[in-house]
Amino acid sequence: MISYGTQLVFRLEDNSGVAVVRRAGSALARELQFNQICAGQLALVITEAATNIVKHVGHGEILLRALH
């Protein structure tokens, strides 16, 4: 993970990175006081995107940041 102030960049090389970025997304959801449904939806979106990157491309990055 690379932190650029208010955004986090996660490098995905294999499936272990999927869990790392999902946990970071859950932490961000808690920090932003998401309700349980929205936090679950965020975790699902992150997991799907990260899994697709690893499965179809082999490696890549995911950027997490809060937009207001």
Per-residue pLDDT reduced to its tens digit, 8-67: 899 999 999 999 999 999 999 998 899 999 999 999 999 999 999 999 999 999 999 888
Distance between CA 33 and CA 12 in Å, rounded?
26
pLDDT at 44: 97
Residue 65: CB partners within 8 Å, gap ≥ 6? Answer: 6, 7, 8
pLDDT at 66: 86
pLDDT at 29: 92
Cα first-last separation, the chain: 23
pLDDT at 35: 97
